[in-house]
Amino acid sequence: MRAYVYERSGETYALAMQERANRRPGAGEVSVRVRAASLNYRDLVALRNKAGRDVGGRIPLSDGAGEVVAVGDGVTNVRPGDRVAGCFFQTWESGPFEMSAHKNDLGGTLDGMLAEEVVLRAGGVVRIPSSYSFEEAACLPCAALTAWQSLVERAALKKGQTVLTLGTGGVSVFALQFATAMGARVIVTSSSDEKLAKAKALGGAETINYRTSPEWEKEVWRLTEGRGADVVIEVGGPGTLGKSLASVAPGGTIALIGVLTGFGPPDTTLFPLMAKNANLCGIYVGSRMQFEAMNAFLETQPLRPVIDRVFPFVDAAKAFDYLESGDHFGKIVVAID
């Protein structure tokens, strides 16, 4: 079978396609014929070596979906023919997060999904929503589940509350869709009026162009009549955290997710967090049980993942380039046929 791997190229990595032998699943494992995989900013961080993590020889991408083609001894939760997606953390099945999960993350410490066939833990796969294509289901494991945990599991979002999403990448767009489906009011930020128009079409109540309104936290305050947002989907990191602290409502929650502005420390006071009795939650995807709960919710909704563009398997490198351009709205997918 064909698979891509990260190959060292100077100080960064390049994608190299390899031929690998298919491996039969062992006890407690399943073999999945991958039909589609999706990209996250984390994958670009690995390719460009922005975090200094050694991923040489590793198959990229945490997110993918396909059908089970074989199961090992003792596997009862899935069978050949089932349509499944892999879980980002292969060993976080339920309960509180444990640091040991970091030793079992797809596309990082473990081989990922950018291959024609993969072997995963039986406890590390979930059935995908029945009406979803493989391309749509490939968008769920990281971006969708991160948004779900932020809004539902950690912030306990309620109807009528206000959600602020930063940008229009995968997590932010899923947060917009989930929050709208739950009856919340969503404020969306972007530097592109075209993307803001798309966000409006998905149900965004208010939009802010942070290029033309660099003090966008004041716009959030104005749009909420001086109260702020109950939940902030914070994907920027140190460069935007100060504005998110200024934007969150009393008793609200900032879901700290991304590092789009870098890995350094924030240059801001944390006093607003105390003054507002607000919550700052670190979010790193979610468990298999949470994934299953999210999929059960999706089965009841007309909500569909927003896919900006689908690249063929042979053009996977171009998908990474497109992600780096920042031109996308929603998810970028690689079809594996």
pLDDT of residue 267: 81
Residue 313 confidence class, pLDDT cut points 50, 70, 90: very high
Residue 8 confidence class, pLDDT cut points 50, 70, 90: very high
pLDDT of residue 237: 87
pLDDT of residue 337: 85
Asked if 40 contacts 153 with a C-beta cutoff of 8 angstroms, the reply is no
Query: Per-residue pLDDT averaged across 96-101, rounded?
Result: 96
pLDDT of residue 95: 96
pLDDT of residue 264: 76
pLDDT digits (tens, 9 = 90+) for 244-295: 999 999 999 999 997 766 677 788 889 999 999 999 999 999 999 999 999 9
Query: Per-residue pLDDT averaged across 50-76, rounded?
Result: 96
pLDDT of residue 11: 93
What the block records as the tokens of 184 is 């919340």
- Residues 6 or more apart in contact with residue 247 via CB below 8 angstroms: 164, 216, 217, 220, 221, 228, 229, 232
The C-alpha atoms of residue 38 and residue 137 are separated, in whole angstroms, by 9
Task: Give the CA count within 13 Å in the CB-facing half-sphere of 280.
Answer: 16
Which residues are paired to 307 by β-bridges?
331
What the block records as the tokens of 306 is 């927003």
Residue 238 confidence class, pLDDT cut points 50, 70, 90: confident
Residue 227 confidence class, pLDDT cut points 50, 70, 90: very high
Average predicted confidence (pLDDT) for the chain: 96
pLDDT digits (tens, 9 = 90+) for 188-205: 999 999 999 999 999 999
pLDDT of residue 56: 96
Amino acid at 247: S
Query: Per-residue pLDDT averaged across 123-132, rounded?
Result: 98
Task: Give the CA count within 13 Å in the CB-facing half-sphere of 63.
Answer: 29
% of residues, the chain, pLDDT over 70: 99
pLDDT of residue 260: 63
Looking at residue 313, the DSSP 8-state letter turns out to be G
pLDDT of residue 265: 78
What the block records as the tokens of 28 is 């407690």
Asked if 204 contacts 172 with a C-beta cutoff of 8 angstroms, the reply is no
Higher pLDDT, 207 or 268: 207
**Comparing C-alpha atoms, which of 12, 175, 168, 43 is closest to residue 113?**
43
E strands present in 124-246 = 125-127, 162-166, 185-190, 206-209, 229-234
What the block records as the tokens of 2 is 């064909």
pLDDT of residue 222: 97
Query: Per-residue pLDDT averaged across 160-179, rounded?
Result: 97
Backbone angles phi, psi at 68, to 5 degrees: -70, 130
CB atoms within 10 A of CB 10: 7
Which residues are paired to 23 by β-bridges?
none
Q: Can you tell me which residue has the tokens 């769920």?
A: 140
Query: Per-residue pLDDT averaged across 54-62, rounded?
Result: 96
The C-alpha atoms of residue 208 and residue 229 are separated, in whole angstroms, by 14
Q: Can you tell me which residue has the tokens 């997060």?
A: 97
Q: Can you tell me which residue has the tokens 């944390």?
A: 270
pTM: 0.95
| Residue 49 pLDDT exceeds 90 | yes
| Residue 157 pLDDT exceeds 80 | yes
